[in-house]
Structure 1
Amino acid sequence: MSPVADDFKIINIGNNGWGDYTRNLILLHEMYNGIALQMNNAVGTITAFRGNAGAFNRINIVEINSSSAYNGTLATIRSYDGFADWTLKTCIYNGKKYLALDVPYSAAFHSEGYKFSGWTKSSGENMKSVNYEVNGQPVNTDILSNIQDYTPNMNETHQVNNFLILGNNVGIGTSAPDEKLTVKGKIHTQEVRVDMAGPLVPDYVFADDYKLKSLKEIEDYIKEHKHLPEIPSAKEIQKNGLMLAEMNMSLLKKMEEMTLYMIEMKKENEEIKKEIIILKQQNKKL
């Protein structure tokens, strides 16, 4: 450890001490566990490296903002990695409760170790690596226990003109996004704009050569399949989800077809009215 100014330090945390196939925590600082604390904090960056002529490259970086004092803890992290994610944990180490980082796991360990730079202090251990699993087997169970996920509880705000994300997938509420934007939870917005290719809009329904199914055909289909033609069934939606753009166009098509049915029925009704008038006139003569 090399103090730079007061509690601003550069710390060589070391590596996991065991090598490959090892999972480990980095103890950040002691945290509240029923007894009021003086200020404990870790605000800075941990960098983990691996790489040489005989070993592939790994780089994992995490920016930490955390503190625990009196009877509360605030913490959040932002990480950069190529293999796995840093995550916040809590644990009991030698009888004290700690806020900790779970080091991103890969079979090949960070042979260059972990380096911290920032403002940190702890009433217990501070920036210490502790293993909890080697080759799939628990270790250090006599001094390390009750490893739990910690939910970050600090906000991150960006007030910018444009916020650009150039890359693959973005996840909100999930660490495994499967689309450009994956949100696990509800979305509240005032408007959604969807770009559509012209041919996908079903205005072709109004073309003179469009073949409109008869109502008898629709009735037979509904009796057999229990849903409208070209509309996915409840089971299909439950299995595959609902594609909003596709569904909206399908519903628009059904609305346009329904409009044509109504126009046709109105024409038929007008013809029936005319026939009724003629029949009434004939009946009156009789």
Structure 2
Amino acid sequence: MKYIYSLVLSLFLVSGLNAQTITGPAGYRVINLGDNGTGDYTRSLILLHEAYNNVTPLSFNNAVGTITAFRGNTGAFSRINIATINTTSAYGSNSGTIQSYAEDSPWKLKTCMYNGKKYMALEVPYLDAYHNHGYQFAGWTNSSAENLKVVNYMANGQPVNQDILTDIQDFNSNMTETHNAKDLNLYANVNIGTNVTSTGYQLQVKGNVRAQEIKVEMDAWPDYVFEPSYEKLSLTELESFIKTNKHLPEIPSANTVAKEGIELGDMNARLLKKIEELTLYVIELKKEVNQLKKENKLK
């Protein structure tokens, strides 16, 4: 009975809250950060928590959760930005990674100096029209200094707060991200390492790709080269083509590859075709050599 009374009392107290911050167990919070305080044409950072400054050991600081930003009403177009952040600073290191969902540009992790202290920060994606509903955080956060504070660094094309906000730099994510799933189905275009959306590609990656195996499905394979009806260039014709074009027939030139890249499956098929033609040339030359040997023996 005492437990039920305590639970009812707790629910009553929670239902009467009307504060900007709701604190849960061990640092879990829902925080209304407000907007940028200026309006349109404003660039802003959100100070997440104090960061290690490469000098003084630091107590536990973190921000793990989601920041959501909205714009929209009868006189303003709809805009939504969402960032899932995982950052921490303690003792002598800073760690962090981010995932963002946006209609314009991605959120970015930064470090900066604010009032003489170093911070892990989040750069708000910029558009002329600001998020008139502000920013909301939900998650687990602690800071030994400012915590989830919005600070502007440019307004109406002019730098602001330069006396207190300095040394804004990119923070490269340094945490390993792993996805373990039995089946992963993506019904969307995915861009990795680039903001440029290119039509016609469901996956676009700017950077290196490493894999244990890549399977390319092909509708056609050049085994027709070995059909008796296939007519290839003579070696004389091939030599003339190479002298004129400086590349093999049906193989793109270096300039074309530099501008357009190559399609992996198509290029493998073209290369195989050239290997098969080369094999036929070798067989023909072998026959000619054997014939010449026979003729020499007869002499």
Counterpart among 180, 201, 218 of residue 196 in structure 1: 218
Rounded to whole Å, the distance in 1 between the matches of 2:137 and 2:176 is 23
Give 2:208's aligned residue: 186
CA separation of 1:190 and 1:78: change in aligned 2, threshold 3 A: closer
Rounded to whole Å, the distance in 2 between the matches of 1:7 and 1:245 is 52
**RMSD over aligned Cα atoms:** 1.9
Amino acid at match of 2:261: G
Q: Deviations over 1:145-178 (max 9, x none)?
A: 111001112222222211222201331x444464
Give 1:2's aligned residue: 21
Counterpart among 104, 117, 120 of residue 96 in structure 1: 117
Structure 2 unaligned blocks of 5 or more: 1-19
Give 1:28's aligned residue: 48
Rounded to whole Å, the distance in 1 between the matches of 2:64 and 2:285 is 73
| TM value normalised by structure 1 | 0.89
Rounded to whole Å, the distance in 2 between the matches of 1:76 and 1:147 is 17
Shift of 1:4: 2.4
Shift of 1:71: 1.2
Counterpart among 269, 284, 289 of residue 264 in structure 1: 284
Secondary structure of 2:36's counterpart equals: coil
Rounded to whole Å, the distance in 2 between the matches of 1:245 and 1:121 is 51
Q: Does the 8 A contact of 2:189 with 2:203 survive in 1?
A: no
Shift of 1:139: 1.4
| TM value normalised by structure 2 | 0.85
Larger mean CA deviation between 134-143 and 265-274 belongs to 265-274
Counterpart among 245, 251, 275 of residue 271 in structure 2: 251
Identity across matched positions, percent: 55
How many residues get paired? Answer: 276
Secondary structure of 2:174's counterpart equals: coil
Larger mean CA deviation between 5-14 and 126-135 belongs to 5-14
Rounded to whole Å, the distance in 2 between the matches of 1:185 and 1:2 is 41
Give 2:145's aligned residue: 124
Q: Deviations over 1:112-144 (max 9, x none)?
A: 011112222212111111111123221111111
Amino acid at match of 1:183: V
Give 1:210's aligned residue: 230
Rounded to whole Å, the distance in 1 between the matches of 2:295 and 2:68 is 88
Shift of 1:50: 0.9
Alignment of 1:49-198 (within 5 A): 49-171=70-192, 173-176=193-196, 178=198, 179-198=201-220
Structure 1 unaligned blocks of 5 or more: 281-286
CA separation of 1:191 and 1:64: change in aligned 2, threshold 3 A: closer
Secondary structure of 1:123's counterpart equals: coil
Secondary structure of 1:166's counterpart equals: coil
Amino acid at match of 2:189: N
Rounded to whole Å, the distance in 2 between the matches of 1:67 and 1:270 is 76
